[in-house]
Amino acid sequence: MGCQSIVDKKDNPATNATESSVTKVTLQTLDGKDTLLTGITNNKASVFIFLSPDCPLSQSYSLPLNEFSKKYKENNIRFYGIFSGTLHKPEEVKDFQKKYLVEFPLLLDTAYNLTRMLNATITPEAFVVDSKGTVLYSGRIDNWAYEVSKKRQLITEHNLQDALDCIINNMPISVKKTQAVGCIIESGKK
């Protein structure tokens, strides 16, 4: 497990995301309704997974992400799939949800508010935040994909799972940031 035995307050992985910012972000449901992220304050941790319906790695990781979502739900850790920008219509995201049997909530970040706040650039990319919105871990799910179109036969590092195990065991996360590999998130820069 990737946990530390001693908490070092100086080694805080938090990005520019804070309680006052992450919990006030408005995203859209697949039905077009606005939703605030204030509910994350009730979670021990929240996992934001940036996805894209046409990204092969987003597709491939849907099954393990579903399994993680179920496994960690009893520990009050919630998963949210985030789709950035307006390139993909809600119908495409609904099709992705149905085809890959995604059971956790999928949300649209059409204005790139959460995407920019967390500095998300790749799909799939995971961000684990605590109930105050502080980023505890960011990066890849594991080391299966080590370069675009290159995958290991055997996964040797389970980064997201290790981070979540540390959280449920009330231990600090030793690897707080890794480099995600996958598809680039369309730019929301003007």
Q: Tell whether pTM > 0.85.
A: yes
- R_g (Cα) of the chain, nearest Å: 16
Residues in the chain: 190
pLDDT at 188: 58
pLDDT at 152: 76
pLDDT at 145: 82
Q: What's the sign of the alpha-carbon dihedral 6, 10, 14, 17?
A: positive
Q: What is the mean pLDDT of each run of 10 residues along the chain (190 residues)?
A: 49 46 90 89 96 95 96 97 95 97 96 95 96 94 82 87 97 95 79
Helix (H, G, I), strand (E, B) or coil at 163: helix
Q: How distant, in Å, are the alpha carbons of 24, 96, 108 from that of 99?
A: 31, 5, 18
pLDDT at 7: 38
Question: Under a CB-based contact definition with an 8 Å cutoff, are residues 146 and 140 in contact?
Answer: no
